[in-house]
């Protein structure tokens, strides 16, 4: 295909447009609109149909429309706040009220009785029929008919300090500078033909300037071929960005690690057999670390699926190869649990496991740092403390990061860099107990190889989930009394530490006091984020040891210690939490052979989304099904934590709606990287620009 010669026309600064001085340019730049090309891709969020005039008597509530009429009455009032009401008639037998809460004296004078107006807005039911609040309008100065637009008007995302009319005019100027197809197109024509999509130029002109007969419903749904063309290229840009990062990482070397006597002894000593899913993922990891290219693999699996064992076997391969392995977890509780498990597995085999967290201080800390630096500790477990400048590894061959979505991108890079030397970097294994939907993994994690442990170990009992109104709280307290007097343990999770007037939620402290009064025969503990680490750790260990019957906690226990005897989980104000968090909390029970239950207490009234979340929790325990539902409800940015992952926000693409384009995006991406790397670079620059994606983290 011909290489475009004029695609750089989009790099002209916005200051070249008429009406863009330094102040306007600064306001545009604050929203990422620095060039004409940025304005091409500043896409409308909706459209207004000013191509026809609707008689007032034909107006329908909630349906935007343009009307033309004469002011019949004006009323200015000052009840609770200033208000201007203007009655408009058009002789069709109806009256429309225009209501203004913000107005100037000149505006009142302009809207005098007898004035002809052309107005646009969305009617809604009012006290005296339909009304439009703050319509856009213009005064018609003579009896000539209104000049109707020949296309729909785009409504752009608002930019502070730049009015909608000014923004519309600037985008129009930018569109007037669009090059011809051959100067703009970056995709092979056969691809567009196969997918029945228009050229980029035609797509941009259609989306910014839809004709009067455009299918508004199709545009509103984001399914118009012109939008699909733009979505394809945007998703391609994100995919290429990730793939390039992966290719850059693969240019480094990594130590080839192969399992030896330690790995064999560890697997033989495990008190359980690996599941089929664990064995499959274990083989995938071993294949990766056996190469001299850096592994970057994400292992996902439900709570309790056995990700730690897979990580331990990978660490054993690193130690067999004379290297070190490090495991980093986001909380001291989780990191300490990992250290406990790994010590139980490795220390009988003669492998020292070092532990490093913020609370390790003084001589103990100096000793641990020395063991890490000399290699006396081949396996290191810790929190963010592992990334501090004082930590120097002897020879880090494998970096393992648990609950990877809880770490910032720079933090993950910092641990990787601890093992970097020359062009060599350690292998990376990242784990998450929050299953990631396939569509999201294909797009957001195109830089990683993804493995799924989709099978729970035998002996895990399904957790029965019940949804209850908070009005039945008393019944629940009695159920807890019965369960705990029979030797079982329970969690009661609250969403806040202290009472709040703003949020209807039982605070952990208040709940602790109420339950202690209602259940004096039970041993009740309290854990929340404001406790000192030692206090928190002490309470959790007491619960694990069976010295506490009922643990009242905030969501700090979402990622916590394994207590097989805990068989009842109560989540207060469950409607306030997302699906992923509810699923994580539910995973704290059902870890033993006793039948377990999770009770979701909710406060009425429930929003539609909250009701859907609770229904999903009640009907399925499959973390991957839950993840797909979470993606559909919340979208990818919130699900992944955009700030944490570095995933740039999409302008137009929707990973749920547009998932069917992903296979084409992947095929096209590989073709461009292999045959047209210069075009791949330009696609990324066009859509993402300088929005860095730290994909190698």
| pLDDT tens-digit series, residues 1-23 | 333 334 467 789 999 999 899 99
Rounded to an integer, what distance in angstroms lies between the CA atom of residue 289 and that of residue 296?
A: 9
157-168: average pLDDT: 89
Contact 645, 409 (CB under 8 A): yes
Query: Which of residues 403, 423, 453 is at a domain's end?
Result: 453
- 520 Cβ neighbours under 8 A, 6+ residues apart: none
The pLDDT tens digits for 329-380 are 887 777 888 898 899 999 999 999 999 987 777 888 999 999 999 999 999 9
**Are residues 293 and 372 part of one domain?**
yes
- pLDDT in the model for residue 124: 93
Query: Does 695 score more than 50 pLDDT?
Result: no
Give the end of a domain, one of 205, 221, 237.
221
Residues 280 and 417 in one domain: yes
Residue 21 lies in a domain: yes
pLDDT score of 556 more than 90: no
Is the same domain home to 486 and 586?
yes
Q: Same domain, yes or no, for 313 and 266?
A: yes
Residue 353 resides in a domain: yes
Residue 115's pLDDT is: 92
Q: Judge if 297 and 433 occupy the same domain.
A: yes
Of 408-412, 513-517, 641-645, 680-684, the least confident: 641-645
Q: How confident is the model at residue 484 (pLDDT cuts 50, 70, 90)?
A: very high
Highest average pLDDT, of 89-98, 342-351, 554-563, comes from 342-351
Distance CA 139, CA 55 (A): 18
pLDDT in tens, 255-273: 999 999 999 999 999 988 8
The percent of residues in the chain predicted with pLDDT above 90, rounded, is: 40
Cβ atoms of 552 and 524 closer than 8 Å: yes
Instruction: Count the residues in the chain.
Output: 697
Residues 333 and 373 in one domain: yes
- Tell me whether residue 683 is in a domain: no
Q: Please state the rounded mean pLDDT for residues 320-331.
A: 91
> What mean pLDDT is predicted for residues 141-152?
77
What per-residue confidence (pLDDT) applies to 340? 87
Whole-number pLDDT of residue 592:
75
Provide, for the chain, the percentages of residues in helix, strand and coil under a 3-state DSSP scheme, each rounded to the nearest 5: 45, 20, 40
What's residue 224's pLDDT?
Answer: 94
8 Å CB contact between 396 and 418:
yes
376 and 352: one domain?
yes
Give yes or no for a contact between 669 and 239, defined as CB atoms under 8 angstroms apart: yes
The pLDDT, as a whole number, for residue 646 is 40
Give the total number of structural domains in the chain. 4
Inter-residue contact 130 to 59 (CB < 8 Å): yes
Identify the pLDDT of residue 329: 87
Least confident of 265-269, 299-303, 475-479: 299-303
Structure tokens at 589: 């029970």
The last residue of one of the domains, among 108, 127, 148, is 148
pTM of the entire predicted model: 0.66
**Residue 502 confidence class, pLDDT cut points 50, 70, 90:** very low
Strands 82-89 and 116-121: unpaired
- Write out the residue range of the structural domain in which residue 422 sits: 261-453
Tokens matching residue 425: 């970097």
**Structure tokens that stand for 635 in this block:** 């979208």
What is residue 595's predicted lDDT score, i.e. its pLDDT?
A: 85
The pLDDT score that the predictor gives to residue 404 is 58
If one compares 615 and 92, the residue with the highest pLDDT of the two is 615
CATH code of the domain containing 579: 3.40.50.300
Region 109-118 average pLDDT: 90
381 and 410 share one domain: yes
- Higher pLDDT pick, 635 / 299: 299
Average of per-residue pLDDT across 400-416: 65
pLDDT, average across residues 434-455 = 71
d(C-alpha 199, C-alpha 41), whole Å: 15
Confidence of residue 660 (pLDDT cuts 50, 70, 90): confident
Confidence of residue 503 (pLDDT cuts 50, 70, 90): very low
Q: Largest alpha-carbon pair distance within the chain?
A: 97
Assess if residue 229 is contained within a domain: no
* Same domain, yes or no: 571 and 480: yes
What per-residue confidence (pLDDT) applies to 332?
78
Which of the pair, 9 or 584, is modelled with greater confidence?
584
Instruction: Give the CATH number, domain containing residue 139.
Output: 2.40.50.140
pLDDT of res. 4: 36
Residue 175 vs residue 337, higher pLDDT: 175
Residue 120 or residue 435, greater confidence: 120
- Binned at pLDDT 50, 70 and 90, residue 239 comes out as confident
Of 168-177, 192-201, 371-380, 431-440, least confident by mean pLDDT is 431-440
The C-alpha atoms of residue 500 and residue 195 are separated, in whole angstroms, by 54
| Average pLDDT rounded to a whole number, residues 300-314 | 87
Task: Locate 549 and state its tokens.
Answer: 């019957």
In a domain, 33, yes or no: yes
User: What's the alpha-carbon Rg for the chain, to the nearest Å?
Assistant: 31
Task: State the average pLDDT for the chain.
Answer: 84
Q: Model confidence at 421, in pLDDT bands (50, 70, 90)?
A: low
Domain-embedded: residue 320:
yes
Closest by CA to 257, choosing from 324, 191, 209, is: 324
What tokens appear for 491 in the block? 């969690």
Same domain, 163 and 124: no
Name the strands in the sheet holding 489-493, side by side, starting at the edge strand that comes first in the sequence.
Answer: 463-469, 596-602, 566-571, 489-493, 550-553, 524-527
Q: Which helix (H) or strand (E) segment is 550 a member of?
A: strand 550-553
Instruction: Look at residue 306 and tell me if it is in a domain.
Output: yes
Look-up of token digits 């070190």? 324
Residues 12 and 105 in one domain: no
Same domain, 539 and 608: yes
Q: What is the pLDDT of residues 52-84, one digit of tens each?
A: 899 999 999 888 999 999 999 998 877 677 889
Supply 81's token pair. 């706040």
Among 183-197, 391-405, 437-451, 533-547, where is mean pLDDT lowest? Answer: 437-451
Please indicate, yes or no, if residue 506 is contained in any of the structural domains.
yes
What is the β-pairing status of strands 116-121 and 136-140? antiparallel
Q: Cα separation of 87 and 69, whole Å?
A: 10
The answer to whether residues 318 and 324 touch, using CB atoms and an 8 Å cutoff, is yes
Is 80 exceeded by the pLDDT of residue 395?
yes
pLDDT at 326 (0 to 100): 95
Q: Could you tell me which of 6, 56, 66 has the C-alpha nearest to residue 36?
A: 6
Instruction: Please indicate whether residue 668 or residue 630 has the higher confidence score (pLDDT).
Output: 668
């Amino acid at each position: 295909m011909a290489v475009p010669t004029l695609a750089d026309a989009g790099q002209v600064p916005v200051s070249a447009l008429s009406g863009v001085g330094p102040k306007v340019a600064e306001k545009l730049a604050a929203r990422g609109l620095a060039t004409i090309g940025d304005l091409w891709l500043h896409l409308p969020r909706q459209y207004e149909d000013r191509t026809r005039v609707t008689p007032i008597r034909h107006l329908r509530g909630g349906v935007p429309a343009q009307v033309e009429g004469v002011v019949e009455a004006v009323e200015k009032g000052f009840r609770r706040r200033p208000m201007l009401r203007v009655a408009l008639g058009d002789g069709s037998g109806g009256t429309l009220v225009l209501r203004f809460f913000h107005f100037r004296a000149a505006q009142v004078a302009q809207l005098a009785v007898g004035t002809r107006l052309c107005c646009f807005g969305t009617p809604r039911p009012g006290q005296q029929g339909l009304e439009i609040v703050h319509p856009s309008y213009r005064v018609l100065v003579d009896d000539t008919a209104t000049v109707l637009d020949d296309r729909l008007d785009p409504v752009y995302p608002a930019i502070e300090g730049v009015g909608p009319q000014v923004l519309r005019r600037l985008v129009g100027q930018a569109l007037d500078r669009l090059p011809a197809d051959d100067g703009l197109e970056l995709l092979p024509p056969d691809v567009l033909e196969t997918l029945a999509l228009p050229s980029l130029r035609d797509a941009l002109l259609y989306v910014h300037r839809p004709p009067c007969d455009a299918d508004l419903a199709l545009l509103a749904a984001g399914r118009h071929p012109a939008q699909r063309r733009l979505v394809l290229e945007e998703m391609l840009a994100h995919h290429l960005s990730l793939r390039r990062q992966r290719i850059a990482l693969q240019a480094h070397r990594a130590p080839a690690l192969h399992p030896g006597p330690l790995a064999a002894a560890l697997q033989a000593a495990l008190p359980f057999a690996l599941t089929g899913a664990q064995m499959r993922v274990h083989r995938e990891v071993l294949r990766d670390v056996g190469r001299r290219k850096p592994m970057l693999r994400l292992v996902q699996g439900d709570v309790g699926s056995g990700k730690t064992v897979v990580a331990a076997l990978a660490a054993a391969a690193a130690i067999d190869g004379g290297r070190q392995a490090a495991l980093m977890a986001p909380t001291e509780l989780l990191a300490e649990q990992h250290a406990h498990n790994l010590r139980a597995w490795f220390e009988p085999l003669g492998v020292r496991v070092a532990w490093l967290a913020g609370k390790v201080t003084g001589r103990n800390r100096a000793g641990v740092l020395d063991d890490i630096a000399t290699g006396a500790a081949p396996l290191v477990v810790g929190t963010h403390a592992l990334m501090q400048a004082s930590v120097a590894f002897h020879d880090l061959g494998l970096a393992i990061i648990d609950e990877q979505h809880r770490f910032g991108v720079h933090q993950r890079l910092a641990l990787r860099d601890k093992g970097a030397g020359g062009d060599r970097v350690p292998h990376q294994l990242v784990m998450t107990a929050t299953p990631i939907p396939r569509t999201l993994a294909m797009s957001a994690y195109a830089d990683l190889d993804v493995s799924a442990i989709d099978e729970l170990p035998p002996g895990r009992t399904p957790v029965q989930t019940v949804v209850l109104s908070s009005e039945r709280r008393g019944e629940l307290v009695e159920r807890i009394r019965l369960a705990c007097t029979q030797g079982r343990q329970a969690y009661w999770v609250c969403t806040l530490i202290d009472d709040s007037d703003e949020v209807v939620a039982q605070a952990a402290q208040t709940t602790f006091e109420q339950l202690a009064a209602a259940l004096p025969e039970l041993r009740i503990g309290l854990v929340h984020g404001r406790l000192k680490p030692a206090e928190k750790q002490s309470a959790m260990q007491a619960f694990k040891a069976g010295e506490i019957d009922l643990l009242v906690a905030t969501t700090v226990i979402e990622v916590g210690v394994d207590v097989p005897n805990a068989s009842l989980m109560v989540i207060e104000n469950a409607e306030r939490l997302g699906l992923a968090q509810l699923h994580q909390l539910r995973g704290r029970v059902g870890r033993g052979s006793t039948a377990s239950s999770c009770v979701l207490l909710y406060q009425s009234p429930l929003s539609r989304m909250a009701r859907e979340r609770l229904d999903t929790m009640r009907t399925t325990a499959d973390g991957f099904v839950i993840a797909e539902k979470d993606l559909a409800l919340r979208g990818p940015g919130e699900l992944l934590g955009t700030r944490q992952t570095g995933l740039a926000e999409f302008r137009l693409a929707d990973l749920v709606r547009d998932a069917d384009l992903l296979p084409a995006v992947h095929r096209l991406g590989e073709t461009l990287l292999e045959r047209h790397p210069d075009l791949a670079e330009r696609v990324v620059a066009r859509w993402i620009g300088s929005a860095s994606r730290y994909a190698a983290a």
